[in-house]
Amino acid sequence: MKVRDVLTEGMSKKDTYQILLEFIRFAAEDLELDKLPKFNFMFDTKRSLEHKSFGGYAPGEKHIDITVVNRHIMDVCRTLAHELVHFKQDLDNQLEDPDAGATGSPQENEANARAAVIMRNWAKKHPQLFDKQSINESKLLDKPTPDAASIIAKHSMSEQDFINQLRNGVQHELEHTSNVKAAIEIAMDHLDERPDYYIRLQKAMR
């Protein structure tokens, strides 16, 4: 699905995921990555408060954490680009220096510079994103959520298959928000669109 097909005036979580996955593909091509790290997109501010930053890369673990909530989508992409550069540096064994992540280090300077170029090219391709509102957790519950029976009937799913997919979906969403009600409703919304949404998401983020 193209970015222009999923944009709305208010940035919802589903819209955000689609744009971020599109951006990951874009940045990976620019950085000539033939594989990707694991991603954790967080829709609360807990990590940011603890680490005093919006994102981080864990060398060796090949894992990127990104705080998404209460930020503009382009700012989120900028952080994501920065951490993807660190991932590439890790693959090239450039993060072995214990001071590699320090302000002013060659690795940190390169991450800032490469991320800026990636964002400039991304902005030229998708200037409409600058007109979007910030991502706000209050918008996660802004649309009516279909009930289980409707989703099962719509996709001709068995009740057990729906339960399994919903369980997987809620577990995934709770990694990104502490709001249980939001996690359930987001998972239900995704399953209403695609009964195999979380299977596809898992494959895309490997």
What are the pLDDT digits (tens) for 159-172? Answer: 999 999 999 988 88
Residue 136 lies in a domain: no
Is residue 104 domain-shared with residue 161, that is, in the same domain?
no
Q: Give the mean pLDDT of 11-20.
A: 74
Structure tokens that stand for 121 in this block: 């090219």
Read off the tokens for 173.
Answer: 């969403």
- 14 within domain boundaries: yes
pTM of the model: 0.65
Strand partners, 42: 67
Mean pLDDT of 37-49: 81
Q: What is the pLDDT of residues 66-91, one digit of tens each?
A: 988 888 899 999 999 999 999 999 99
Give the mean pLDDT of 139-156: 78
Mean pLDDT for the stretch of residues 99-111: 90
Take residue 168 and report the two structure tokens written for it: 């997987």
- Please state, in angstroms and rounded to a whole number, the distance separating the CA atoms of residues 194 and 19: 17
Kindly state the helix (H) or strand (E) to which residue 112 belongs, with its residue range: helix 106-125
Q: What is the pLDDT of residue 26?
A: 95
Pairing of strands 55-58, 63-67: antiparallel
202 has pLDDT over 90: no
Residue type, 152: I
Check whether residue 101 and residue 50 sit in a common domain. Answer: yes
For residue 97, what are the domain limits?
Answer: 3-131
Whether residue 137 lies inside any domain: the answer is: no
The 8-class DSSP code of residue 93 comes to: T
Is residue 58 within 8 Å of residue 34, measured between CB atoms? no
pLDDT at 176: 63
Q: CATH no. for residue 28? A: 3.30.2010
Task: Count the helices and strands in the chain (H runs, E runs).
Answer: 9, 3
Domain annotation covers residue 33: yes
Let me know if residue 153 belongs to a domain.
yes
| pLDDT at position 140 | 46
Alpha-carbon separation of residue 180 from 43, 141, 161, 169, 186 (angstroms):
12, 12, 21, 12, 10
Q: Which amino acid is at 94?
A: Q
Q: Is residue 46 part of a domain?
A: yes
Average pLDDT of the chain, as a whole number: 83
Q: Is the pLDDT of residue 13 over 70?
A: no
Quick one: pLDDT band at residue 143, thresholds 50, 70, 90?
Answer: low
Copy the structure tokens of residue 33.
Answer: 């990555």
User: What is the pLDDT at residue 1?
Assistant: 27
pLDDT at position 5, please? 30
* Mean predicted confidence (pLDDT) in 20-46: 88
* 198 & 118 share domain: no
Whether the per-residue pLDDT at 14 is higher than 90: the answer is no
Instruction: Label residue 93 by pLDDT band (50, 70, 90).
Output: very high
Residue 166's pLDDT is 93
106 and 190 share a domain?
Answer: no
The full DSSP string for 132-152 is: SPPB-GGGGG-SPPPPHHHHH
10 and 53 assigned to the same domain: yes
